[in-house]
Every structure is written in C-alpha cells, then in structure tokens.
Amino acid sequence: MAELLFGAETEYAVARRGVKKKRPNEEAALELMCQAEMQLPHLPDMSSSRGMFLSNAARFYVDCGTHPEYATGECNDPWELVRQVHAGHRILASLARNARTLGRRDKSIHCFRSNVDYSGSCSTWAAHENYLYNGSQAALSTHLIPHLVTRPIYAGAGGFRPRSRGLEFTLAPRLTYFEQVMADSTTSGRGIWNDKSESLSANNRRLHVTCSETLCSQTALFLKFGVTALIVAMTDARVKPGEAVQLADPVRALQTVIGDVNCTAKLALRNERSRTAVEIQRHYLEMAEAHLQADFMPSWAGAVCRAWRAILDRIETGGPAAVANTLDWAIKLSLYSHQNLGIRWEQLGALSALLDQSSPAQDLNQDPEALLAEERAVRRKLSSEEATDEFERLARSQGVDVADIKTLTRQRQRMFEIDMRFGELGAGGIFESLDAAGVLDHRIVADDEIERAMTQPPPNGRAKIRGQVVQRLASNDGARCDWHQIIDFAEAKMLDLSDPFAREESWQVLNDTPYVHSVAFERHPLSRRERAYQLFQRGNFSGAEELLRGVVAEEFEVASNRCHLARVLMMMDREPEAREEVSLAWSAREGAASYVVPRILFFRLLFAVLDGQDLVEPIAQIKELLQDSSACSSWTIRPVLTHLRTRLSRPQYRFLKALADALSYFEHISALDEFPEWRTVQAAAATPG
C-alpha cells in the first residue's frame, strides 16, 4: 500500500488584554515566541530569526503578518495529523497561559483559531495544507478544484460574511474572499487553486492548498485532510477522479456552496448538468471506494471512506441539525440561531441585503487602513438620522421594519465577538467549553495522544528523525534546523533530511564540503547574534548591545551587525551613538548581503525625517535597490518606529511603516505607490557619502 505525506500550517490571531481586540498584535506574538524559546526544547530555524523547530518535528514562528504560525511535521495518516494540529493548539494555549501568569492581568495574551478579522480590514488568518505529490500539477488542479469547492459542507469553519453590512451566516467566512480560480499569491487576489509548487525531493513536490480554514472539530479536520489526500493519490495514479464533475463556474459555485446551509443548492457543471455539493462529494467517494485495493491507495483509505460516507449521509438526510454536534459550521449555526437577537434568525437575510444595498462593496485591493476608515465611515452613516430616512424609504419599498434594522446593527458586533470567542484557545473558548461539557460528538483521537504529540514527532519518515534529533541537540548552541537538514556546527556535520520517507539518520561531515568554509567557522558569532536578537525581543537592550559589540569586534558581518546595534541603541534613546553606528555600517557595506544596504539607507532616511531634511536621495537609492527581490529579507524594525511614534507625524509613520514592510517582503513594495514621497521619486544608484 502507498505511503502518503501531508501537513498543516495554522495562523493564529492574538491579542493582549481582553477578547475585544481582534487584530493581530505584534507585541503579543513576539511574547509568545519568547515564551516558546524559554519553555520548549527546540533548535533555531536556519531560515528565520523568529522561528524554531520543536521536538515534535513542528515549526513554530512569527510570520510576516506578525502573527504566530504553527506548521506540523509531515504526517502519513489523518489521525496523526489531527493529533499534531491539536498539539499545536495546546502548545499555543500553554504559552499564552504562562505569559498571563508571568505578567500583569492587563497584559494577558489570548490566542484564537480564527479565520477572518471582523473589524473591516479584510484580513484573514490562514490554514494552509501541504500534500506530497509526484504527478502533474495541471492534472491536480483539474481534478481537485471541484472537490475544494464542495468540501466546505464538512470542512467549513462557519461564521459570518465579514464584508456584509448586515449579519449573514456562511459555511466558510474566509472563503468569501476567494474571487478567482487560479492565483499565485496567498495574501491578495486569492484563488481556489494556488500555483505555488516546491520540490520536496528528487521525485516529489509539495502541493500547497490555501482554499482552507482553521477548524475546531477533530472529525472535520480528519475528513479535510484524509479525503483530499486520497484524491491527490488517485490523481497521481491517473484515475481522473474529478473528470465527470467539472464545474461551469468554480468561483460562483464556491460562493453558492458556502451560502447554502441546507447543502441542497444545484451547481452547474460543464456538461450542462447540475449536481449538489453532496452529490459531487459522493462522486469522489465512489471513485475512492472503487480503488480501495489499488497499490497507490494507503492502508487507511477504507476508514476515511467510511467516515466520509457517514457524514454525507447525515447531511443529506438530516440537514444541519444532523451534524450540529460534529461539524464546526453546524455547531455554530445551531448555537447562533438560538441567540436572543431581538429579531428572528430567518429575517437576517432580508435585513442584511437591505443594509448591503445602501452601502458600497469593499474593494479587496484597497490598503487595509483605507478599508478600516471606510468601515468606520459606513458605521457612522448607519447610525445617522440621514441613514434612518434612507432606510425608511428602502424598508417601506421592501416591507421591512426599520426598527429591526436598528436592532441588527446593534447585535452585529456582539455576534462577531461571539464568533471570535468560539475558537479561543484554552478554557475561555466557547468550543472548548462545549466540548468540556460533553455536548459535542467530534473526537477521533484521545486526549493522552494529543498530549504525547506535544513533545513526540509523527512515527514515520523524516519528521520522526527531525523530532528525535531536535530533542537530542536542543541544548546545543551550535545546531540549527530547517525542513531539509539539521546542521551541528559544534561537530561540523549535517543531517540530510532531503528524503521525506527517510528511516535512518544520514549525517555528512562538513569538513569535506565547501559549506564549512562559508558557515561553520562563523558559527559562534552567528549564535551570539541570534541570542542578541532574542534579548532585543525581550527588552533586554543592554544585554543585546554587549553581545553585538563583541560580534562587531570580531569583524563578523560588520555592516549588518552595526545595523542591529543601531536598532538596539535607538530603543535605549542613545540616538547619537546609533547615528554613528549607521555611518560606520555604510563605510563597511562593501561585500555585505544584498538586503543590508537598504537597511542602512532606511536608517539614513529615518534620521532625515527626524531632522526635517530632504528625503529624495535616500528614497531614490532604496527604490533602486528594491528592484531586486534579494534586497528584501525579514527585518524587525517596527519596534523602533513605535518607540519614535511621538516624534513622527501620522503620514511619516505610515510611510516608514510601509517601507519597513517592503524591506522585509518583496510583495509589499507595490503598497508604497500610494505615498507621493515614494511615487514621485526616480530610482537612483546609491553613492558614497
């Protein structure tokens, strides 16, 4: 039988203090990272200074949106996937709980398994899936898209349409933002199918599924990964499982599916016929059942098919009520529809449509701050007398009571907060409370298995090896890890993890490779620089300064480390010394990494802003360098801008913040075009001075 591999990536929403603050909080995310560094056996991530690999083979890091993200190790059956995902939830909950214990009550951290930000920013928190495959990506897209469109009937998180001015329940709130079939971006212009494909080994590639949501239900998670993995396996074997159910308009079909709580809407197919989401899922199920004994199917395929068939039967014969204690969206629908709103649940559709009629739709390509400003303006309008008159005219024409509209606008935010709290990690979460009370029926793995998965890796393949070696080397300051290798600089050797199915450790001596000359001899200053960064995150600026001055004295990556030192000095209000370090960094820039010079120029620009000087030259120089994507690399400079906030005007702060994001992530550069100081300056080569 075949051996499949897959894994999950979960982004968490975090907030300090109470649960009302729903947007990601950078300070809280970094605090969780610091807590993890202190509590969990780990090896630092070679590709990110804000990441680590844990003893259960997972990766924990602070992602580009300054939110914590947890990626499981590679799993080869859906039960293990459920264990590892829920282990991640418990790890995050433990880190947040410990942060609350150590800090004041008003600095408590809350983590949420959320999918959308209801503030109006159009932000989402992703739940991506990765599957190993070795066939054609074009074939995969053809046969998987109808599945991805229809699986929300069991894999939808449930909630409300975030862009509705009213209150509209949907099976999958995050998927309301998916407005095209194909896309290569995961943060804007989202597509049902993501073109991202990466090599995993000589014969395998990684399929990256982004049309997905974070789930609480173990059954829903089990089905989401187990079913999708079977369809990938069939497609790789050229079975063509989706050939008979090609959708005429996948985007329209997706929006139909997630808006239909009865799961009975007909979806148009290319062959001019139509089927419901349940019927399309049954087609895939029958294809899988017909090939259960094939050598390309895993040993657990039969168990997944039985659970798949059972859930489809329940949905088809009993509707939402039949799965109201099992699937996320149905649990929420049952809970929310019984809330005392002051209006009947059945009225929400008509009332929401009326509110949407009176307000413009949001443009997803707008700057998030502009979207928030627009949202606030609309809320003010909805509460004004002028709006009341407008609603009265519209309401009378459609037979709607204006008093009900006012009630809805009052209840809307309360329901959004309830939906946010539903997925809160820990005892305060609504799902966790319902589960503890024994009113849900969703579990497929035992609590003690999840507890073990918090420290133990999946039992097969390179994930098992990675986890065991991380556990063994966790106290070794000279070891570093990524998905494909672990390097023990102290012993000058590398563990090769390029084979996803590896069963034994395969170490190579670095002395016999050119790699040792570029990295191994620099391991000690590199390690101290990373410790300096950790101290910086924790606010121990004097400790960070001491380490960085030692690294600079050893002439290790001088330009880069003088920039790090300038960052620390700015946080200590020692600006003249920081300016001197930036000047020395500029003098030492020859031969520095391509992303270092833009950072030096950023400091020069910042000082020019503070001094009221002309900004054209540093902007032109940065603009020239940012034509090359290698000039961008993740950089934590936002704390300095926050520290200087009172000395910067709002436009200056917004521009510098946007530029800092662009220096970290190449895809953010286009956002700078909204600022005239950037838009009107021509790129120019950096000159000495």
pLDDT (tens digit per residue) in 38-94: 889 999 988 776 789 999 999 999 876 678 999 999 999 999 999 999 999 999 999
Query: Does the pLDDT at position 158 exceed 90?
Result: yes
Is 90 exceeded by the pLDDT of residue 430?
Answer: yes
Mean pLDDT, residues 639-651: 92
Q: At 16, give phi and psi (nearest 5°).
A: -95, 160
- The 3-state secondary structure of 74-109, one letter per residue: CECCHHHHHHHHHHHHHHHHHHHHHHHHHCCHHHCE
- What number of other Cβ atoms are within 10 A of residue 115's Cβ? 30
Lowest mean pLDDT among 528-532, 562-566, 572-576: 528-532
> C-alpha angle with apex 403: 402 to 407, nearest 5 degrees?
120
Give the highest mean pLDDT range of 95-104, 189-198, 627-636. 627-636
User: Higher-confidence residue: 129 or 22?
Assistant: 129
Tokens of 482: 């990524």
Q: Which one-letter DSSP state was computed for residue 629?
A: G
* H, E, C per residue of 638-677: HHHHHHCHHHCCHHHHHHHHHHHHHHHCHHHHHHHHHCHH
pLDDT tens digits, residue range 346-393? Answer: 888 877 887 777 665 555 444 445 544 555 555 555 555 455 566 566
Look up residue 73 and give its DSSP letter: P
The segment with the largest mean pLDDT, out of 44-58, 80-94, 589-603, 668-682, is 80-94
Residue 347 corresponds to which tokens in the numbers above? 């009225």
Instruction: With a cut of 70, say whether residue 517 has pLDDT above it.
Output: no
Looking at residue 579, its pLDDT comes to 95
Higher pLDDT, 8 or 427: 8
H or E stretch including 266? strand 266-268
When mean pLDDT is compared over 235-249, 355-369, 514-528, the highest value belongs to: 235-249
List CB contacts of 378: < 8 A, sequence separation 6 or more.
165, 359
Residue predicted with more confidence, 359 or 332: 332
Confidence of residue 634 (pLDDT cuts 50, 70, 90): confident
Find the mean pLDDT for residues 454-464: 96
Phi-psi map region of 399: left, alpha, beta (phi>0 left; psi -120 to 50 alpha): left
Mean pLDDT, the chain, integer: 86
Per-residue pLDDT at 538: 74
Would you state the pLDDT for residue 518? 39
DSSP code of residue 689? -
Helix axes 596-611, 650-664, angle to 10 degrees: 180
- Residue in this structure with the two tokens 């627009």, named with its chain if needed: 374
Q: Is the pLDDT of residue 539 over 50?
A: yes
pLDDT value of position 184? 62
Min mean pLDDT across 41-50, 261-270, 585-594 is at: 41-50
Domains and their CATH numbers in the chain: 521-592 (1.25.40.10), 605-689 (no CATH)
Instruction: Please tell me which residue, 6 or 498, carries the higher pLDDT value.
Output: 6
Helix (H, G, I), strand (E, B) or coil at 281: helix
| Residues ≥6 apart with Cβ < 8 Å to 658 | 668, 671, 672, 674, 675
Contact in structure between 453 and 339 (CB atoms under 8 Å)? no
- Name the residue among 647, 640, 646, 631 with its Cα closest to residue 599: 631
**From 118-127, 395-404, 570-579, 677-686, the region with the lowest mean pLDDT:** 395-404
Largest distance between two CA atoms of the chain: 83
